Amino acid sequence: MRGKVTIVKAIRIVVSLFLLLGLASPAAAQFGLIEQGAKRAKQISDFSWSNEEKAALGAKVSELVRQRYGVVQDAAVHKYVTLVGRTVTDKTTKPGLPWTFIVLDTDAVNAFAAPHGYVHITRGALALMKDESELAGVLAHEIVHVAECGPDPVHMQIGVTWPQAPREYHALELMLPSVRLVLRR
């Protein structure tokens, strides 16, 4: 009887060890992933753009957007949007940036910014605004993306190098998936 009990105990110990090791393996793997993620985050946080690189990137993105959607051909509309936009940029931490406000010729309702002061808003978005305070609010949202942010690890990870912004800032990526290809070159 005693030999039977010893064999049962040994089997229980072996099964317990296998279960313990089996459950511990995913945890060990997770710690490895966490360590890899921490190293990647450190690399990304050490990354920075020069002003010249930001200017070139912003100009290229803005050019692609304007080519795709066209630009409203009404000087009065551009003057109005620029006046409201400049009123907002004068209160930012980067009032001296060469801010450029562009009204895109599309019915889509959208607004987005590109590095180094390129702010785009669509004709469709303007059509829905009741007054200039709504325009100022939309432009201010986009201006903050440019004025207060650095490199965005999420966009860098997927190949789009873009100023960091709150996570809802994916409008351009959704509108222009081809930007990823251009910016990877």
Q: Is 45 inside any structural domain?
A: no
Could you read off the pLDDT of 10-39 as tens digits, one per residue? 677 766 655 555 555 555 454 566 666 666
Q: Is 22 inside any structural domain?
A: no
CA distance 73 to 123: 11
Could you read off the pLDDT of 107-127 as tens digits, one per residue? 999 998 999 999 999 999 999
Q: Is 156 inside any structural domain?
A: no
CATH code (residue 125): 3.30.2010.10
Task: Label residue 181 by pLDDT band (50, 70, 90).
Answer: very low
- The count of structural domains within the chain is 1
Q: Is 109 inside any structural domain?
A: yes
134 pLDDT more than 60: yes
CA distance 116 to 97: 7
Q: Is 9 inside any structural domain?
A: no
Q: Is 130 inside any structural domain?
A: yes
Q: What is the CA radius of gyration of the chain?
A: 26
| Residue 47 contacts residue 152 (beta carbons within 8 Å) | no
Q: What is the rounded average pLDDT of the residues 52-56?
A: 89
Q: Is 17 inside any structural domain?
A: no
Q: Which residues contact 32 (CB under 8 A, 6 or more apart)?
A: none
Q: Is 137 inside any structural domain?
A: yes
The overall average pLDDT reported for the chain is 74
Domain that holds residue 66: 51-149
